[in-house]
Structure 1
Amino acid sequence: MKVRVATFLLSLLTAMTLQAETKPASQHEFATFGGGCFWCMEAVFQRLPGIVHSVSGYSGGRTENPTYEDICGHGTGHAEVIRVEFDPAAITYDKVLEVFFEAHDPTTLNRQGADEGDQYRSVIFYENEAQHVAAGKARLAAQKHYEDPIVTEIVPLKKFWRAEDYHQDYFNQHPDQGYCTFVIKPKVKKLQGKGVISKG
């Protein structure tokens, strides 16, 4: 009898431990932001522990169902963004924002490197008031690391449009493509070297 009770208690304890360690998908949270080419941002956040999934897309504009061709110089107002799903038990929204500000230059208006246009603007799309407040605090904290003023917009998320399939998981699928070799790979290696993201 004692053996059975002990076995039951051990099983119950194991189940409770596993449940505490892994939050169900329904308890995951989302963050949406843009900081230049979405290929770059996606590559960075795919290597950040706690990120469950990332999707490249468009947001912040005036048109519905935008395409990549639409946003390239056609005045749609949409930005290239990524929407990440993360486990708050493994990484906080504050940490996600910290990495966001480190993964791009938030002081350049409508530009990241050679990529120029309002589709490359620095922007955080908040999904609730808690994210709104956190984004403001993160921007203020990040300013301490830059001499020039940060121009990152903080606006409510109205709609996220998933980008075309060929934009998804781009760096992993095309590591030897020119842009990946000369722009994304150095950025990823730099952040890996600083211990910001994993080397996997």
Structure 2
Amino acid sequence: MTAEAMFGAGCFWGVEVTFRNVPGVTDVRVGYAGGTTPQPTYEQVCRGDTGHAEVVRVTYDPSEVSYDRLLDTFLEAHDPTQVNRQGPDVGSQYRSVVFVADEAEQGAAEKAVARHQQRFDAPIATQIDDDATFWPAEDYHQQYLVKRGLASCRI
């Protein structure tokens, strides 16, 4: 049995690699979610007028990795105190966001944010939103860094 989780943590390329390296994760797809434009393109999302965030949809085996562990990975993979940006990437498409499917995920996300807040002086800006439609990014974005022989795109 598998489950899915969806996170936005800035540019999706590095976040994809991070989650692919988590034991128990069986697939990661990059895409867009949380906006109003159906089937958005990368160019549309980059303009910042679709409302979508760059996200990863993580498919995982709950018997091997917990949702809590995925939340920890997410909160450790980026700076969740930044509002609508990560490093040089600026815009609402780079916001920190967890899309939750139910009340259990909502509660787990709230507890994870509270737990990780202790590491930061600034407040965590991560949004916790209801599940949204996932629109896969174009094929050339899938495993973008792996295709180029890169391990990360961290600054």
The TM tier, using the shorter chain, reads over 0.9
Q: Which residue of 2 is the match for residue 143 of structure 1?
A: 117
Give the secondary structure class of the aligned counterpart of 2:26.
strand
Describe the SS at the equivalent of 2:113. Answer: helix
Deviation at 1:73, TM superposition (A): 1.8
Note the aligned Cα RMSD (angstroms): 1.3
Is the contact between residue 14 and residue 154 of structure 2 (CA under 8 Å) also seen in structure 1?
no
Alignment of 1:13-92 (within 5 A): 27-92=1-66
How many residues in Structure 1 have an aligned counterpart in Structure 2? Answer: 155
Give the aligned partner of residue 96 of structure 2.
122
Counterpart of 2:131 in structure 1 is 157
- CA deviation map 1:97-146 (0-9, x unaligned): 00100000000000000011110000000012211111111111110111
Normalized per residue, which structure has more helix?
1
What does residue 194 of structure 1 align with?
none
1:112 matched to which residue of 2? Answer: 86
Compute the displacement of 1:76 (Å).
Answer: 0.8
Shift of 1:185: 4.9
User: Does the 8 A contact of 2:48 with 2:92 survive in 1?
Assistant: no
Return the structure number with greater strand share. Answer: 2
What fraction of aligned residue pairs are identical, expressed as a percent? 47
For the residues of structure 2 that align with 1:164 and 1:156, how far apart are their CA atoms? 24
User: Gaps (5+ residues) in structure 2?
Assistant: none
Q: Distance in 2 between matches of 1:50 and 1:151?
A: 28
**Relative contact order, higher structure (CA 8 A, sep 6+):** 2
Q: In the alignment, is the contact (CA less than 8 A) between 2:99 and 2:129 conserved in 1?
A: yes
- In structure 2, relative to structure 1, the CA distance for the partners of 1:130 and 1:56 (3 Å cut) is same
What is the one-letter code of the residue matched to 1:151?
A: A
Query: Larger radius of gyration, structure 1 or 2?
Result: 1
TM-score normalised by structure 2 residue count? 0.96
The runs of 4+ residues in structure 1 deviating greater than 4 Å are none
What amino acid is the match of 2:142? Q
